[in-house]
Structure 1
């Protein structure tokens, strides 16, 4: 297998959302009370408003941190470890019950499609007291891929 060159591709918001929408693995970064970063691996999606959404519980650190300081970042990962990724920065809104129920339906749809029993799903979300974290994207970096610096690759090896 040929080595690949690292690369960064700048994209507009449409290109960013096209990249993020099919990816559902991310690392959410919130800020702890002492100012240190809190990293949380999450399953995430993009809703119809173009926000990144995460389902979680009210007592989780990421939720408590977002209530105290809404600034956050997400590293959106590809399924392959060496795949492309992007960092987005923005602000989180925590959507609590009962308003969260319908937003959790949209969250499920943007990741998995249709549920076989929406009434059952809604009841489970109420019973579990799930909340939705909505990350409004304010800025983003380039879509990046790791690899060798291009200067170390022969012209035929660049990918």
Structure 2
């Protein structure tokens, strides 16, 4: 199984969990709204100082799990995360990318893009892209 096998699943099931490693080696799990974006599992974190983002800055290895609402199907993507934020990306490029990732994860237009753009700036949003290294699951 490779990522192309689970892209349709990630495109239709946005509820997920990311597992990262704490500094002591323990697993940290956090719920996310996820999707597929340009060959990666993706989500946006609006809390750049969250535990998951701190963990990923230290160790980019992680697993993103997308699940069906009825729990009868799931897909996991293991890989290394790339963190994209306003500190390493041009502001206009970040605005465009945030909108694209929003669409990939929500599958809908935001009702007020200007409000969304400002909220992402105010909250110092971080985009997380996970490059698939291992993919598995029960996709139906």
TM-score range, shorter chain: 0.7 to 0.9
- Normalised by the length of structure 1, the TM-score is 0.76
The 1:52–1:144 alpha-carbon spacing in structure 2 relative to 1, beyond 3 Å, is: closer
Mean CA deviation greater in 34-43 or 119-128: 119-128
Report the counterpart of residue 102 of structure 2 in structure 1.
108
More strand by share: 2
Report the counterpart of residue 70 of structure 1 in structure 2.
60
Count of residues in Structure 1 that have an aligned counterpart in Structure 2: 133
What whole-Å deviation, never above 9, does each CA across 1:43-70 have from its counterpart, x for those lacking one?
Answer: 11111x1211111111001000001000
| Superposed CA RMSD | 1.8
Q: Is the 8 A contact 1:100 1:131 kept in 2?
A: no
Rg larger in 1 or in 2?
1
How much has 1:134 moved relative to structure 2? 1.1
Whole-angstrom CA distance in 1 between matches of 2:50 and 2:3: 30
How much has 1:15 moved relative to structure 2? 2.0
The 1:22–1:40 alpha-carbon spacing in structure 2 relative to 1, beyond 3 Å, is: same
Q: Within 5 A, what are the aligned runs for 1:1-159?
A: 11-47=1-37, 49-56=38-45, 57-81=47-71, 83-97=72-86, 98=91, 100-110=94-104, 111-143=106-138
What whole-Å deviation, never above 9, does each CA across 1:118-145 have from its counterpart, x for those lacking one?
Answer: 2221111101111111111111124268
- Normalised by the length of structure 2, the TM-score is 0.85
Whole-angstrom CA distance in 2 between matches of 1:91 and 1:120: 31
Structure 2: gaps of 5 or more residues: none
Structure 1: gaps of 5 or more residues: 1-10, 146-159
What whole-Å deviation, never above 9, does each CA across 1:55-90 have from its counterpart, x for those lacking one?
Answer: 111100100000100000112111113x11122101
Report the counterpart of residue 151 of structure 1 in structure 2.
none
